[in-house]
Amino acid sequence: MRILRAAGRAAAPWSNGGGVTREIAVHPPGAGWDGFAWRVSLADVTRDGPYSPLPGVRRILTVVDGAGLELTVDGTPRLLPGRYRPFAFPGDATTVSRLLDGPVVNLNVMLREGRAEGTVEMVGGAWSPEREGGVVGGPDRVGGLLVVALEGATRLTVRGKSGVPGESEVRLERFDAVLWTGADVLPDGLRTDRTVAVVRLSGRPLG
């Protein structure tokens, strides 16, 4: 288990000047744009504009702060009002974002087709992973689970794997995250007192 604090994350400005992105985690660790299997980040979006095309990447976008936005994907508008509504779309689609009422913060999950799979859930309360289907691991996969605190001052209680007694507690501030990698170390359950994003991930093993 790794705790990834929001404080100190580097902000990378967009080339079009419409916002900045802060990377939370990437697999393989340290991978750049051409080499990641999956990547999770937060983006501060301050104005309307097009998204950069990402061929071969599936995107899951969730507004986590602000009034929401409208995404037009290959000519089809999709309204995402408010917060906590994950929306998946192909990265190679022509996509334009329009803010509904001021800046937003987006949680972005990017999954390289053929190398990674993933899901995003908004959770408040108890949560248990589904261990079937390979999303959190499998014979040819590296399982991963990422939890991102969305509302600040969050208490996350972690239940260990079967056969490991007891629970541990993690205190998180807003946009702090906790990451587990490896199907053999994923927790059997979580409990949270505020809303968090639970991102289940899998990718091809290194090497």
Domains and CATH numbers, the chain: 10-112 (2.60.120.10), 116-203 (2.60.120.1540)
Tens of pLDDT, residue by residue over 6-44, are 998 999 988 777 789 999 999 888 898 888 999 999 999
**What is the C-alpha to C-alpha distance for residues 194 and 125, in angstroms, rounded to an integer?**
7
Q: Place 182 in a pLDDT band, splitting at 50, 70 and 90.
A: confident
**What is the C-alpha to C-alpha distance for residues 73 and 51, in angstroms, rounded to an integer?**
10
**What is the C-alpha to C-alpha distance for residues 119 and 161, in angstroms, rounded to an integer?**
21
Q: Is residue 70 a contact partner of residue 106, using CB atoms and an 8 Å limit?
A: no
DSSP assignment, residue 138? B
- Could you tell me which residues are beta bridge partners of residue 190? 127, 158
Sheet with strand 95-99: strands edge to edge: 49-50, 95-99, 68-73, 76-81
> What rounded mean pLDDT belongs to the chain?
87
**What is the C-alpha to C-alpha distance for residues 135 and 145, in angstroms, rounded to an integer?**
10
**What is the C-alpha to C-alpha distance for residues 132 and 140, in angstroms, rounded to an integer?**
14
**What is the C-alpha to C-alpha distance for residues 145 and 1, in angstroms, rounded to an integer?**
10
Position 117 pLDDT exceeds 60 = yes
Report the DSSP pairing between strands 177-181 and 95-99.
unpaired
Tens of pLDDT, residue by residue over 120-144, are 999 999 998 764 343 444 444 557 8
Provide the pLDDT for residue 84.
96
Q: Place 165 in a pLDDT band, splitting at 50, 70 and 90.
A: low
Q: Kindly state the percentage of the chain with pLDDT values over 90.
A: 67
User: Among residues 179, 190, 111, which one has the least CA distance to residue 145?
Assistant: 179
Position 192 pLDDT exceeds 90 = yes
Position 163 pLDDT exceeds 60 = no
Number of CB atoms found within 10 A of residue 182's CB: 12
Q: Place 109 in a pLDDT band, splitting at 50, 70 and 90.
A: very high
